[in-house]
Structure 1
Amino acid sequence: MNTTPKVALVTGATQGLGLALVEGLAGRMAPQDTVYLTGRDVDRVTQAVDAMPGGGARVRGELLDVADPEAAGRLAARLKERHQGVDIVFNNAVMRVGPDDDPREIVDAYAEVNNFGTTRVLRAFAPLLRDDGRLIVVASSLGTLHHLAPVLHDRFDGPTSLDEVDEQVAAWRDAVRDGSARGGAWPGFVNIPSKIGQVAAVRALAHRRREPDLARGILLAAVCPGMMNTPTSGMWWDVSGAPSPAEAALALLDLALDPVDPDHYGRLVRDGQALPWSP
């Protein structure tokens, strides 16, 4: 029996779904295990750790701003030194956008966190995964080619490396910034190409790691938590009947802690089912 203490990490974990994931992991993991609660603001990280209920795994705070090109790599190096590896990583950090935001003004910061932040976390932590590890990107059911004009499908269906995905995301970002996206086939809601880019990143990394990962019991996947009752979602939709972040986290925790379903590998999963990538 493997008695090595387990290590989990959640990005963007000072509120909402990220906070619920930390609490859920801590409650379902053992006292000798460690869950890292990360965020970009030291005071909010400290407050979130202090507010955690007792019992279960130890919760430890760490600063991580995924918009910093070097931050994920620095934290991964520290965890490698401390623990020699990691067992569960949830990439949940996100910059949210409201209905009144001008996409041209926010797209640089938005892509930096949501997309380049995702690929930074994948690059930094995938090499640290131990046997039976999980690396899960929190995305959305909007992250499939069903929501993109067919003329744009090859941009995200073709890449087989994270660098190639980053190139396509950068091209979309630039088109939004200079206004040319408005006159083309890109959807006006920036969340759609961004989420597709996240899932494409998972698919590209999975393309390179599938056989050895499955042989070691590792799961690399994207996950859709579904609509949640949060202030940000409430700016766009009526979420009064939607699940709370804690309720939405349950299916994600099952994905991280239950035995691997090989059909989930490299795919976008919602409520335990892999969603089709293309029409």
Structure 2
Amino acid sequence: MTIALVTGANQGLGLALVAGLARRLGPQDTVYLTGRNPDRVAAAVAGLPPAPAQVRGEVFDVADPGAAERLAEKLGAVDIVFGNAVMRVGPGDDPAAIIDEYAEVNNFGTTRLLRAFAPRLPDGGRLIVVASSFGTLHHLAPVLHPRFDAVGGLDAVDAAVARWRDEVRDGRARAGAWPGFVNIPSKIAQVAAVRALAAERRDDDRRRGILIAAACPGMINTPTSGLWWDVSGAPSPDEAAGALLDLALGEVRAEHYGELVRFGDALPWKP
């Protein structure tokens, strides 16, 4: 019996991951579709087509500091975890005005998920954080690389995120070397969190067949992405989910462990 969980699964890629898992798993398996709004969670579950695996809705707000641990205690060992919850921003949003909630959901929500579910992974488990190709140091000024490179554990990543958040909020980031697009440092911090956790667990996880990784689904044709780019020719969420599902359900490859994986290849962390 396989248990899977997807955060941020009411719509878009998260919903596609739930549907794909339900198709690929069997009748004895369960996929948890999670989101913070109970009505939207229920509607998303009800709208899914029939599939072999059972899909259950679960209310889970990653911005709630205690929610990840409570859910992990309730579910116990979860074989496949996709961290997909994200607060989206548009070109007209003021970074200083949204940065607190943005970091809370995208970054602290990610590290809480890692802390809660990684220790409970069974042999052969998979914990995958959905990030993007922006999540490498190639997109950050070299002077800022030490903030996220080879940091010592998830607490250090959280501290780096809090420092960046504060600098965005009070305007120092705008005057410094930070990119104006807050998605870039946020994604880098997500990948840094995966790398920091993996560095602590690598030998034991490899022995037990566990994969901890970040994953880039590539450009997706969604309304939010369309605010920033021309996505008319981009894959749909269902199409984009395929490579991530392959990563979660296929054989573990050593070169993927602790890395950002895109279409089956690990992307270089450093320039």
TM-score scaled by length of structure 2: 0.99
- Does residue 215 (structure 1) correspond to residue 207 (structure 2)? The answer is yes
State the match for 1:7 in structure 2: 3
**Aligned equivalent of 2:173, options 172, 181, 195:** 181
Residue type matched to 2:35 in 1? G
Give me the whole-angstrom Cα distance separating, in 2, the residues matched to 1:172 and 1:211: 31
2:22 to 8, 11, 26: 26
CA deviation profile, 1:118-170 (whole Å, cap 9, x unmatched): 00000010011111110000000000000000000010003120000000000
Matches within 5 A, 1:89-128: 89-128=81-120
Corresponding residue to 1:40 among 22, 36, 39: 36
Partner of 1:54, secondary structure, is: coil
Structure 1 residue aligned with 2:249:
257
User: Deviations 1:30-89 (Å, cap 9, x if unpaired)?
Assistant: 100000000000000001111111121100000000000000111000001xxxx11000
Write the deviation string for residues 73-122 of structure 1: whole angstroms up to 9, x where unpaired.
11000001xxxx11000000000000000000000000000000000000
Query: Residue type of the partner of 2:70?
Result: R
1:141-160 matches, cutoff 5 A? 141-160=133-152
Overall identity of the aligned pairs, in % = 73
Partner of 1:52: 48
For residue 78 of structure 1, give the secondary structure of its aligned residue in structure 2: helix
Q: Deviations over 1:200-231 (max 9, x none)?
A: 00000000000000100000000000000000
Contact 1:217 1:260 in 2 (8 A): yes
SS for the counterpart of 1:35 is: strand
User: What's the RMSD between the two structures over aligned residues?
Assistant: 0.5
Aligned residue pair count:
271
Which stretches of structure 1, 4 residues or longer, exceed 2 Å deviation after superposition?
Answer: none
1:20–1:245 CA contact under 8 A, matched in 2: yes
- TM-score, structure 1 normalization: 0.97
Aligned partner of residue 122 in structure 2, secondary structure:
strand
Given the alignment of the two structures, is residue 132 of structure 1 paired with residue 121 of structure 2, yes or no?
no
Instruction: For 1:149 and 1:237, locate their aligned partners in 2 and report how far apart those are by CA, in whole Å.
Output: 23
Paired amino acid for 2:53: A
- 2:21 and 2:134 map into 1 onto residues whose CA distance is 26
Return the alpha-carbon distance in structure 2 between the equivalents of residues 36 and 170 of structure 1: 30
Alignment match, 1:73? 69
SS in 2 for 1:210: helix
